[in-house]
């Protein structure tokens, strides 16, 4: 399983560790991945995802999983999240005429 965030697509980066004497050693900068369960309000279901701590903050800032998915670019999302996004879009469309 790749070390990839399912919501933002963040991957590990490579770089160098520099000592005081400026010796360089290759190293990896890995994303801070967390296994979380997020609840979709429009679908009424919970989803288990592997996301970075930064993406989790973004989800909370945007107002929940549904709002984050609707605003996120398709290229960043994983296949599972793309499927969830389509389901949320259908649920929002179905709820809009009922509310009006």
* Domain harbouring 43, CATH code: 2.30.170.40
Residue 53 covered by a domain:
yes
Q: How far is CA 35 from the centre of its chain?
A: 11
Residue 66 covered by a domain:
yes
pLDDT at 2: 83
pLDDT at 96: 82
- Extract the tokens encoding 43: 């679908």
Counting the structural domains of the chain, the total is 1
pLDDT at 10: 95
Structural domain including 36 reads 13-93
pTM: 0.86
- CB under 8 Å to 76, separation ≥6 — which residues? 7, 8, 9
Residue 100 covered by a domain:
no
Residue 26 covered by a domain:
yes
Residue 71 covered by a domain:
yes
Q: Of 78, 31, 38, 74, which Cα lies nearest the Cα of 56?
A: 38
Residue 61 covered by a domain:
yes
For 60-82, the pLDDT digits (tens) are 999 999 999 999 999 999 999 99
Cα separation, 75 vs 45, whole angstroms = 24
- CB under 8 Å to 79, separation ≥6 — which residues? none
Helix (H, G, I), strand (E, B) or coil at 64: coil
Residue 72 covered by a domain:
yes
Ranges of the chain whose pLDDT falls below 50: none
pLDDT at 48: 96
């Amino acid at each position: 399983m790749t070390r990839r965030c399912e919501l933002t697509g963040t991957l590990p980066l490579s770089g160098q560790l520099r000592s005081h004497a400026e010796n360089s050693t290759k190293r990896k900068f890995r994303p801070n991945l967390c296994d979380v369960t997020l609840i979709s309000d429009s679908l009424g279901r919970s989803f288990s995802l592997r996301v970075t701590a930064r993406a989790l903050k973004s989800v909370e800032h945007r107002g929940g999983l549904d709002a984050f998915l609707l605003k996120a670019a398709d290229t960043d999302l994983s296949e599972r999240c793309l499927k969830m996004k389509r389901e949320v879009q259908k649920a929002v469309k179905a709820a809009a005429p009922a509310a009006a």
